[in-house]
Structure 1
């Protein structure tokens, strides 16, 4: 399939596909006329990449998932490298949550001190 069809089926732009290709996540064969040609499996790869990026993962994070799918697994998250990325990402998210909770507590404390100052509750 050509780049436009892959983009449509995977729900991304052709520019995104070129970007993924530039970073080695997908690859295309070239037809005699120079057009990129993709395989049916590339729809799944691109969908996996898109889902990961939407959820805050980077292109480098996506690499083990793509490799896992290419090796024949039914899910990109079934391989050890992918599981490690998931664990690292969860640690990052937990850290962000702790930071946000601390910031929230500080803002709430400032609000309460402002309420007491003005005689409000």
Structure 2
């Protein structure tokens, strides 16, 4: 399938698909005209890559994931990825806690008209 067809099937941009391919997350071949062509399985792969990116994983991290995570659309976990998923969740939770502290400080500043002391 052409890159345009893959983009239409997945909702991903052609640019994103090229990016995934260049980072080794997809497998493509070149047609005689030099255009990329993708196997039908690329539809599920692109959708899974988009899900992983949406949960905060980088291209480098996704590239290290085993096939059980990268190639199966909707795969939520496999034994080899559980630890990195837990670490990502802990990182997100730390970010949320930090944002909540900042929000509270800003709310206090607005309510009192002064800056609260640093913790």
- TM-score > 0.5 by shorter chain: yes
**Structure 1: distance between partners of 2:11 and 2:66:** 17
TM-score, normalised on structure 1? 0.76
2:105 is matched with which residue? Answer: 106
Partner of 1:62 in structure 2? 62
Q: TM-score by structure 2 length?
A: 0.77
- Contact 1:77/1:83, CA 8 A, preserved across alignment: no
Structure 2, unaligned stretches of length 5 or more? 115-119
Deviation at 1:111, TM superposition (A): 3.1
In structure 1, runs of 5+ residues without a counterpart are 116-121
Corresponding residue for 2:87? 88
Aligned-partner SS, 2:25: coil
Alpha-carbon RMSD across the aligned residues, in angstroms, is 2.4
Partners of 1:83 and 1:29 in 2: CA distance: 32
Runs of 4+ in 1 over 4 A off after TM superposition: none
Bigger share in helix:
1
Task: Describe the SS at the equivalent of 1:8.
Answer: helix
Higher alpha-carbon Rg: 1
Q: Contact 1:6/1:43 (CA < 8 Å) preserved in 2?
A: yes
